[in-house]
Amino acid sequence: MAERTRKRKKNHKTEYYFDYSLLFVILFLLGFGMLMIYSASSYTAYLDYNGDSAHYLKKQLLACILGMIAMTVVANIPYHFWERFAILAYIFSIAIIPVVKTPLGISSHGATRWFKIPGIGLQVQPAEIVKLCMILFLACLVCKLGRNAGTLKGFLFMLVIAMPQAIMIWKITSNLSSAIIVVGIAVLMIFVADPHYKKYVLIGSGVAAAASALVYWIITTDAAGGNFRFKRIAIWLHPETDPEGVGFQTLQGLYAIGSGGIWGKGLGQSMQKLNFLPEAQNDMIFSIICEELGLFGAVAVILMFVILLWRMMIIANNAPDLFGAMLVVGVIGHIAIQVILNIAVVTNSIPNTGISLPFISYGGSSVMFLLIEMGLVLSVARRIQLKEV
């Protein structure tokens, strides 16, 4: 009997998992994103860059190549290697934000949200670095706190930890949407780490009630004044009241969505991208997808994001340990929150706020750091052991 047991153990083969489905979805979204960036930006790029209609496409392609290289490197490094840098990442995420106010800072459309790396000319958005660093630090912190992460004291402590970066992003870079995402990532990671959900229902209900009261107050009174964000909320339900001002981008985006119908006008046939919809390749690219590919294309893109999140949920559920699971949960939170907010803004389901569509919108820093996050997810997936008899 003992001899038979030893032979059976010898016949066990340990194999390591690799999620090819996840990799395919990532590559599809990157390829589709570059296709839509070229379609949405070719006209304005031709006018602004001396006939170079592929200007934005070439810059995005370079960022994707660098991001893919970084993703491959990170995916092949055991994810526990990064755990030792968690505190350093947290400190770095605070120190990197004020760099935009130095001579390295780059201003665009009235906001200074980027800085240039000397020597190579690469533009980086600190908010994207902060999101990655926050995921790493909070994953490590959840493991350190253990059961204490589920207590009210632990919840408040972890939430306060994320606040300095969120406030600095909001005040220093005037990027409220990224600040909301940073807090959202923290809340989701704490929520998943805590088996007691009742307090989150109460907190969520309270936040929703407070937000609703604020929106109602702004809409029903003349509270907007000179505050640009309040003006966006004030005309949210009726953007046609300011068609040439704050409501212009929202209206043009809705025109694009409505004119696409079920099947769309055809790839490259958008009218709104011809200088009607400002910066169509950035935050409003989903409206161009709707116009050119119709409801069918929009649903297909949403389904690809659902598959992406589903594959990551499977990896999180089967992660070898809590640290790996929380890393993947943080990435899930980042992508899910950003996709939901972007589509909600484009369809005017919530007040307008600048936020990009992951992997698809134009933005070098965004796609590079998203790919690094996907490298972490793939690194966790590669450590999942499969045993076969």
For 388, list phi and psi in degrees, rounded to 5.
Answer: -125, 145
Look at 269 and 12; give whichever has higher pLDDT.
Answer: 269
Task: Report the side by side order of strands in the sheet with 122-124.
Answer: 105-108, 111-117, 122-124
Any alpha helices (H) in 111-267, and if so which ranges? 126-145, 152-173, 176-193, 198-220, 228-234, 248-260
Q: How far apart are the C-alpha atoms of 265 and 270, rounded to whole Å?
A: 7
The sign of the torsion formed by the CA atoms of 236, 239, 244, 250 equals positive
Which amino acid appears at position 232 of this protein? R
Residues paired with residue 13 on neighbouring β-strands, in sequence order: 388
**Of 373 and 177, more confident:** 373
User: Cα separation of 292 and 43, whole Å?
Assistant: 15
> Which pLDDT value is given to residue 193?
82
**Cα gap 224→276, rounded to integer Å:** 26
Q: What is the pLDDT of residue 119?
A: 67
**CB of 294 closer than 8 Å to CB of 263:** yes
- Under the banding of pLDDT at 50, 70 and 90, the label for residue 226 is low
SS3 per-residue string spanning 172-216? HHCCHHHHHHHHHHHHHHHHHHCCCCHHHHHHHHHHHHHHHHHHH
Helix (H, G, I), strand (E, B) or coil at 261: coil
Residue 243 makes CB contacts below 8 A (sequence gap 6+) with 251
pLDDT at 114: 80
Tokens (6 digits) for 254 = 């809705």
Phi and psi at residue 111, in whole multiples of 5°? -135, 145
- Among the residues of 318-383, which ranges form H helices? 322-346, 364-382
For 372, the 3-state DSSP assignment is helix
Beta strand 122-124 pairing with 111-117: antiparallel
The predicted pLDDT at position 175 comes to 85
Amino acid letter for position 157: F
Q: How many CB atoms neighbour CB 157 within 10 A?
A: 15
pLDDT at 108 over 50: yes
Enclosing H/E stretch for 3:
helix 2-11
pLDDT confidence of residue 134? 94
- Computed over every residue of the chain, the mean pLDDT equals 86
Please report, for residues 8, 16, 31, 41, the alpha-carbon distance to residue 388 in angstroms, rounded to integers and kept in the order given: 11, 11, 36, 51
pLDDT band at 185; cut points 50, 70, 90:
very high
- What was the pLDDT predicted at 389? 43
pLDDT of residue 388: 56
- Is residue 299's pLDDT more than 90? yes
240 vs 263, which has greater pLDDT? 263
